[in-house]
């Protein structure tokens, strides 16, 4: 048992920022949820740092104290700014002072509507008594022909009803009158209009609506047609639709390929940082966007100053930054999925690789060279399949229980489609970016976009024409939150032990 604690403790010493970020996250959740939920995660995380100093095998008191400080800071900071929101079953009427964070247009089979993501700065009762502060909320307005929507460039005072929907999300049902708050402003309208210009530009280049919708969504993160989202959800590909590290890495990779021939390494890194920052600013305040931006820019800044970055510590820093900026992010499913999937890749990929390599052994280069030509091609395809299986196994160790907890179902087809579909999307994204760069050469631009359109349509056909009778879904499985926390805590500590043991072995040598 002491060997387990020693390995985990050693891992924590090598990745302090990651540990601080997790402690800050637990402190944030302590302000939102009952303390009983956090007992097991906290005990698992801190017990190695407590037990080993008592046994005099290590001295981690400073690290433990620092983690406790981060936990208490997060709890106090969140408790101060966010009140415990308990609403009557039928909601409560009053007046809200809202600040609009983003606006989107959504089309369903039955209606068209505007969706405002807001923060309620203050919520007053009918007799002007202050009830709540700093509440993230959503406002849904159905589009009515002949009536214009409220612009999202200022703050508003709105009379309405505050309710909590079936998913636990706070919504505000507003009255028809929105009163402007003088000397206020918001960038939400500018961002929306800018994304609309991008959408119009893409539609002018691609004649097929499905290709234009796909590329518009990949660039802006906005998919107006909700049936498109449902299609991707059917195959467990929702992560492609949300702007994340996948998109930022593609963007940074294409920029790197184009700039490395004309700029020095430092200048290329600086240009990519500026480009990524402008892109993130255009997309707005979104947890997955902000996490991806931090984890892309910090290593580039480190390379500029010739400092090496550690991926897990970067994840911890991004946790600290996002929760310090907006503690309510911790309640967002986008935030939870973004950090959990990234953490799964960083923590579980190599252990999953060990398992997959036992089933499909890896050959040495000398062995591959001796193979017949057709066997070499087959081995290359098997290698791609093996890496896809490894990544899928690592991610789904975390994603499967989270999906069962939130949606009571899991799409088995997502495991198969995640082997190859993200690669197809990355090719389409790269072709689009290449066509954009050559827009001043009309014939070449048109050729690239035509190739991209045919390629993207072919990729989408694999979704449209897959028989529904072959869909495999693990459904109607209710996972209590206590079970979810127990599973994630044990899995998390097991992965820390695996990494700590390997790092101890690497330090000791053969």
**503 belongs to a structural domain:** no
Outline where DSSP puts E strands in 386-475.
409-411, 473-475
Question: Are 259 and 281 within one domain?
Answer: yes
Residues 121 and 250 in one domain: no
pLDDT band (50, 70, 90) for residue 54: very low
As a whole number of angstroms, the distance between CA 92 and CA 330 comes to 25
Taking CA atoms, 170 is separated from 100, 162, 166, 215, 377, in Å, by: 14, 7, 10, 31, 54
* 239 within some domain: yes
Q: What is the pLDDT of residue 57?
A: 47
Average pLDDT of the chain is 82
The pLDDT of residue 73? 93
Give the tens place of pLDDT for each residue, 376-409: 666 676 777 777 788 888 888 888 888 888 877 7
Kindly report, residue by residue over 281-336, the tens digit of the pLDDT. 888 888 888 888 898 888 888 776 667 778 899 999 999 999 998 888 888 888 88
**466: nearest Cα among 407, 392, 416:** 416
Between strands 156-164 and 130-142, the pairing is unpaired
- Residue 178 shares a structural domain with residue 199: no
**From the CB of residue 165, how many other CB atoms can be counted at a distance below 10 Å?**
9
Residue 14: the pLDDT is 84
Report strand pairing: 473-475 vs 156-164.
Answer: unpaired
Helix (H, G, I), strand (E, B) or coil at 281: helix
Interatomic CA distance for residues 448 and 456, integer angstroms? 12
Could you give the CA distance from residue 492 to residue 469 in angstroms, rounded to a whole number?
36
Q: What is the pLDDT of residue 84?
A: 62
Query: Residue 199: phi, psi to the nearest 5?
Result: -60, -45
474 within domain boundaries: yes
* Number of domains the chain contains: 3
Q: What confidence tens digit (pLDDT) does each residue in 93-122 have?
A: 999 999 998 898 888 777 788 999 898 888
Report if residue 392 sits inside a domain. yes
Phi, psi of 361 (to 5 degrees): -60, 145
108 in a domain, yes or no? yes
Q: What is the percent of the chain where pLDDT is above 90?
A: 15
Q: What is the pTM of this model?
A: 0.84
Most confident of 44-58, 108-122, 183-197: 183-197
Query: pLDDT band for position 506 (50/70/90)?
Result: confident
In angstroms, the CA 191 to CA 471 distance is 38
For residue 101, give the 3-state DSSP assignment: strand
Asked whether residue 58 carries a pLDDT value surpassing 60, the answer given is no
Segment 481-498 mean pLDDT: 88
Tally of CB atoms within 10 A around 135 = 21
3-state secondary structure at position 111: coil
The larger pLDDT score, comparing residue 416 to residue 368, is at: 416
Q: How far is CA 140 from CA 105, 116, 283, in A?
A: 10, 6, 20
* Residue 472 and residue 353 in one domain: yes
Element (H, E) at 117: strand 112-124
What is the SS3 assignment for 122? strand
Domain co-membership, 68 together with 130: no
Quick check: 53 pLDDT over 60?
no
**Residue 426's pLDDT is what?**
82
For residue 166, pLDDT over 90 is answered with no
Do 458 and 320 share a structural domain?
yes
| Residues 252-274, mean pLDDT to the nearest whole number | 78
pLDDT of residue 457: 92
Specify whether 104 is located in the same domain as 226: no
For residue 55, the model assigns a pLDDT of: 46
Mean pLDDT of 45-54: 66
Beta-carbon contacts of residue 272 (< 8 Å; ≥ 6 apart): 252, 255, 256, 259, 296, 300
Between 167 and 389, where is the model more confident?
A: 389
Does 366 share its domain with 397? yes
Q: Which residues pair with 97 in a beta bridge?
A: 122, 157
Least confident of 28-32, 167-171, 230-234: 167-171
Residue 25: is its pLDDT beyond 90?
yes
Domain boundary among the residues 21, 48, 77 is at 77
Tokens of 308: 């090496």
**Where residue 97 sits, what CATH number does that domain have?**
2.40.50
248 with 348, same domain? yes
Instruction: Grade residue 56 by pLDDT with cuts at 50, 70 and 90.
Output: very low
- Selected residue with higher pLDDT from 239 and 480: 480
Is 152 among the domain residues? yes
265-283 vs 188-205: helix crossing angle, rounded to 10: 110
| Residue 391 in tokens | 């990544």
Residues 141 and 234 in one domain: no
CA distance 507 to 510: 9
Confidence grade of residue 176 (pLDDT, cut at 50, 70, 90): confident
Residue 363 and residue 336 share a domain: yes
Is position 63 within any domain? yes
Please indicate, yes or no, whether residues 361 and 226 belong to a single structural domain of this protein: yes
Average pLDDT, stretch 159-164? 88
Domain of residue 469, residue span: 195-479
| Domain boundary, last residue among 25, 46, 77 | 77
Domain-ending residue, one of 159, 186, 213? 186
The pLDDT tens digits of the residues spanning 435-484 come to 887 888 878 888 999 999 999 999 888 888 888 777 777 776 778 888 88
**Coil, helix or strand for 153?**
coil
Mean predicted confidence (pLDDT) in 210-219: 88
Is residue 87 classed as helix, strand or coil in its secondary structure?
coil
Is the residue at 504 inside a domain?
A: no
CA 473/CA 244 separation, integer angstroms? 26
Q: Which CB contacts under 8 angstroms, 24+ apart, belong to 205-209?
A: 205/435, 205/445, 205/449, 206/449, 206/452, 206/453, 207/453, 208/453, 208/457
């Amino acid at each position: 048992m002491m060997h387990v604690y020693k390995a985990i403790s050693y891992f924590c010493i090598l990745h302090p920022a990651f540990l601080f970020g997790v402690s800050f996250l637990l402190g944030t959740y302590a302000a939102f949820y009952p303390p009983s939920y956090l007992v097991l995660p906290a005990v698992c995380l801190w017990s190695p740092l407590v037990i080993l100093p008592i046994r005099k095998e290590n001295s981690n008191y400073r690290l433990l104290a620092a983690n406790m400080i981060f936990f208490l800071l997060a709890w106090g900071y969140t408790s101060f700014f966010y009140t415990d929101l308990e609403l009557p079953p039928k909601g409560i009427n009053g007046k809200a002072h809202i600040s609009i964070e983003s606006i989107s247009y959504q089309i369903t089979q039955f209606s068209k509507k505007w969706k405002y993501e807001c923060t309620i700065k203050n919520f007053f009762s009918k007799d002007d008594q202050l009830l709540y502060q700093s509440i993230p909320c959503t406002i849904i307005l159905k589009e009515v022909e002949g009536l214009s929507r409220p612009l999202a460039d200022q703050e508003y005072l709105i009379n309405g009803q505050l309710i909590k929907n079936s998913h636990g999300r706070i919504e505000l049902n507003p009255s028809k009158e929105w009163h402007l708050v003088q000397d206020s402003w918001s960038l939400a309208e500018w961002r929306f209009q800018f994304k609309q210009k991008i959408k119009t530009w893409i539609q002018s280049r691609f004649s097929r609506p499905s290709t234009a919708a796909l590329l518009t969504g990949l660039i802006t993160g906005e998919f107006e047609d909700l049936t498109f989202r449902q299609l991707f959800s059917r195959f467990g590909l929702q992560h492609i639709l949300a702007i994340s590290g996948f998109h930022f890495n593609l963007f940074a990779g294409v920029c790197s390929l184009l700039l490395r021939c004309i700029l020095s390494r430092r200048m290329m890194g600086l240009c990519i940082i500026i480009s990524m920052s402008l892109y993130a600013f255009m997309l707005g305040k979104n947890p997955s966007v902000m996490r991806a931006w931090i984890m892309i820019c910090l290593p580039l800044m480190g390379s500029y100053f010739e400092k090496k970055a550690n991926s897990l510590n970067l994840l911890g820093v991004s946790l600290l930054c996002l929760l310090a900026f907006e503690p309510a992010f911790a309640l967002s499913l986008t935030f939870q999925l973004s950090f959990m999937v990234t953490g799964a890749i960083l923590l579980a990929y190599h252990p999953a690789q060990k398992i997959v390599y036992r089933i499909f052994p890896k050959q040495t280069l000398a062995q591959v060279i001796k193979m017949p030509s057709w066997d070499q091609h087959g081995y290359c395809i098997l290698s791609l399949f093996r890496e896809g299986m490894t990544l899928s196994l690592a991610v789904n160790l975390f994603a499967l229980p989270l999906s069962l907890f939130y949606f009571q179902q899991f799409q088995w087809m997502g495991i198969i489609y995640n082997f190859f579909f993200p690669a197809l999307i990355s090719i389409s994204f790269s072709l689009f970016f290449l066509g954009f760069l050559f827009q001043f050469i009309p014939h070449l631009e048109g050729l690239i976009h035509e190739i991209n359109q045919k390629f993207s349509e072919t990729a989408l056909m694999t979704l449209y024409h897959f028989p529904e009778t072959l869909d495999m879904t693990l459904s109607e499985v209710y996972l209590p939150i206590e079970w979810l926390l127990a599973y994630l805590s044990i899995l998390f500590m097991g992965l820390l032990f695996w990494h700590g043991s390997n790092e101890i072995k690497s330090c000791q040598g053969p």
